[in-house]
Each structure stands twice: as structure tokens, then as C-alpha cells.
Amino acid sequence: IIYIYPALKRLFKIENIKIMILRRLAESLFISLAAWFGTAGFIAYYFKILTPIAILANILIIPTASLVIISGLVLFILDPLAPFLTGAFAAFNELTVFMLVKLSTFFSSLPFAYYRI
């Protein structure tokens, strides 16, 4: 990501996109593309699959996984300090994990999501 994303950003001149939400979507897409380029070879070699859907899936999966991690960390910290709040954070954490699994299942079930090689 450190090497590929800046090159993609310069190549496609993302900074010229005036509408902020479109620029953020383009940035997310190119970060996901850079991550895919960086890991596709390893995944192909070790697992014998190619996963082009990962480029689009990661745009939704990465923020959801971040929510899982953050809410789990908050739950861990709050438990000894405010145990009465842990139920709400546990429910939120459970919801985000559920969303993560559903997103992953959805994208992996799409046609041409992966190819065996």
C-alpha cells in the first residue's frame, strides 16, 4: 500500500476530483487495489485462488472490521471501569461482527468472485 497507492493516486490524479465523497471513494478504491496487488501473489501461491472481488469488497469490509476492533477494545477497557455499559458495547460488537460475516459471505458468493488456479 505504501508504494502502490501513491503511484495510483498520482497516475489517476485523484486530487483533481472536486466532489469530496467521490474523492474519498476513489481513495478507498485505490487503497483496496494497492492492497490487492500486494497480497494477490501470496494468496494465489498459497491458496491457489485469485480473488478480484476483494478490491470492491474491501471498501466495505475494512471499515467494518475497524469497527469490530474499536468496539472490542472499548468493551475491554470499559468492563472494569463501567460494567453497566458493557452490555451495549457487547451488542454493538456482536452486530459489527455479524455485518462483517454477512458482507464477506455476500461478496464471496457473487459470480466470478474468485477463480481457482
* Mean local confidence (pLDDT), 41-51: 95
Identify the DSSP state of 112: T
* Mean local confidence (pLDDT), 98-102: 97
Rounded to an integer, what distance in angstroms lies between the CA atom of residue 95 and that of residue 92?
Answer: 5
Compute the CA torsion angle 38, 41, 42, 48 (nearest 10 deg). 140
Q: What's the pTM value of the predicted model, to 2 decimals?
A: 0.75
Whole-number pLDDT of residue 3: 92
β strands within the chain, DSSP E: 49-50, 115-116
Whole-number pLDDT of residue 104: 95
Whole-number pLDDT of residue 1: 87
